[in-house]
Structure 1
């Protein structure tokens, strides 16, 4: 049995099932939510629930949450709602508190949206500075977390488009007009996101990693199969006026360093469940 306490800030669509699996593996798991109603769901998943809001200043039980060995931060930025500076401020306030804590390993769930569409394969080293990024605020947040090293282990995991279960691609494009059908996807099934994050925790990996399925079918292939499988209205595929830029995110580094075998290497084979 692993003698470790893992705290997850942000027990949402990914954080909650991740915490549940870690608890099943024998870890002590704490988790945060912004709503009192969700505390029961955390307890049912064997996660010790704590209320926490980042407004962007912490409001709630942060000190208790930080009494742990490993901290995983999974709070996707709310694009546009509070402005670009809000999410980096949330993370800056968190890192200030982490410096006063016993946390030994910090894992920040970032996104492959940091990469621009440059019509080529993108690797981790392509974005190391704010000025290189399509999402400067996200890289600023990454850098705040990275500043915790070398006093603590630090890992940045840039996840692709999280899919699976109730996140069904056809649902989002049903009946629409799509001119980007030839663009390759950079998807990650939730099961593999959980598997990769567990590998980072158990192997105490540090550094920056892309987490995305190794195969990249086109959007059109994905949408056609998804709509056929679930009965959504097929979008209308049209030729773009100008070529649509793309990017192909490489997961080679995380596959090599962890030895992880993807459950769903091809997004055409992802497991979905209506109403899951």
Structure 2
């Protein structure tokens, strides 16, 4: 089973990861929790399974999904009032299944929302009490995996995901006001896939990494250009200081010897601009 990987949660990121690993010769199993995404998953070449995480139990069609030495958990919290309780309970069910089957390596996809907005740079180890319930839920879930002695876990904290069909200009279209000078913490999906692949291929476990573009333009710099390229209305920018964080990815760059494909989110917009110019 050394070349078998199971991805729990084959959504926008998980499916892209699975397709990339298939091309590298891995046997990939992927899970979906809806019929429509299940059918799409089957067409990718990834072995599709139905798995739905609930606070009380896991709904699983075939336990063979968990016949793997390496499990990637890519299930984000949903926006519900009880997320701070329900999400860790769901992840607790996943941990129980990992123990039951005897999986030895887990890669848990988390988020930079686990950090408080302290108006400064944050690194791994700077976790506190996140402002948002989803951030607090993720922090609890991380500990469920990292504190368990029966398997090794590496945690990846991604910033906001951009790339392909996710138009960043639409991120702020529904907001009445956008803080102009607030720095952004984003990462392109290609870098997400490459970082995960590097961790897996180099057998790096028992670590926690931030994964965000090393450069942090302001919201005004990024979203004004994104809106212009998409021919969408310009956001209403204000100069209210607000609270923010700048997520540092130096540990990942050093430990993985990693070079970002998109060093700045602006590089992605430049790519879109060049592509539009060519056509």
TM over 0.5: yes
Return closer, same or farther for 1:124/1:175 CA change in 2, 3 Å cut-off: closer
For residue 263 of structure 1, what is the aligned residue in structure 2?
261
Report 1:186-197 matches (<5 A). 186-197=185-196
Report the number of matched residues: 267
- Which sits farther off after the overlay, 38-47 or 111-120? 38-47
**Greater share of residues in helix:** 2
Structural mapping, 1:58-73, within 5 Å: 58-61=58-61, 63-73=63-73
Whole-Å separation in 2 of the counterparts to 1:182 and 1:86 = 35
Asked if structure 2 preserves the Cα contact closer than 8 Å seen for 1:163 and 1:188, the reply is: yes
Post-superposition offset of 1:132: 3.7
Aligned to 1:125: 125
User: Is the partner of 2:224 in helix, strand or coil?
Assistant: helix
1:96 paired to 2:96: yes
Q: In the aligned structure 2, how far is the partner of 1:81 from the partner of 1:30?
A: 32
Shift of 1:267: 0.3
Under a length normalisation based on structure 2, what TM-score does the superposition of the two structures give? 0.90
Flag structure 2 segments of 5+ consecutive residues without an equivalent: none
CA distance in 1, matches of 2:17, 2:81: 27
Which deviations, in whole Å up to 9, do the C-alpha atoms of 1:197-217 show, x marking residues without a partner?
111111111211101110000
Instruction: Give the distance between the partners of 2:185 and 2:120, measured in 1 at CA.
Output: 12
- Which residue of the partner structure matches residue 204 of structure 1? 203
Q: After the TM superposition, which residues 23-102 of structure 1 pair with which residues of structure 2 at under 5 Å, given as runs?
A: 23-56=22-55, 57-61=57-61, 63-102=63-102
Q: Which residue matches 2:244?
A: 246
Q: How does 1:167-246 map to 2 (within 5 A)?
A: 167-174=166-173, 176-206=175-205, 207-240=207-240, 243-246=241-244
- Deviation, 1:107, is 0.6
Task: Single out whichever of 26-35 and 2-11 deviates more from structure 2.
Answer: 2-11
Alpha-carbon separation, structure 1, partners of 2:248 and 2:86: 29
Q: Shift of residue 259 of structure 1?
A: 1.0
Question: Which has the larger displacement, 201-210 or 172-181?
Answer: 172-181
Most deviating of 167-176 and 187-196 = 167-176
- The equivalent residue for 1:144 is 144
**C-alpha displacement of 1:3:** 4.3
> For structure 1, which runs of at least 5 residues remain unmatched after alignment?
none
Residue 101 of structure 2: SS of its match in structure 1?
Answer: coil
What do the CA deviations read for 1:215-245 (whole angstroms, capped 9, x no partner)?
00000000111011110110122232xx211
- Asked if the contact 1:153–1:204 (Cα under 8 Å) also holds between the matched residues in 2, the reply is no
Q: Cα distance 1:141–1:62, how it changes in 2: closer, same or farther (>3 A)?
A: farther
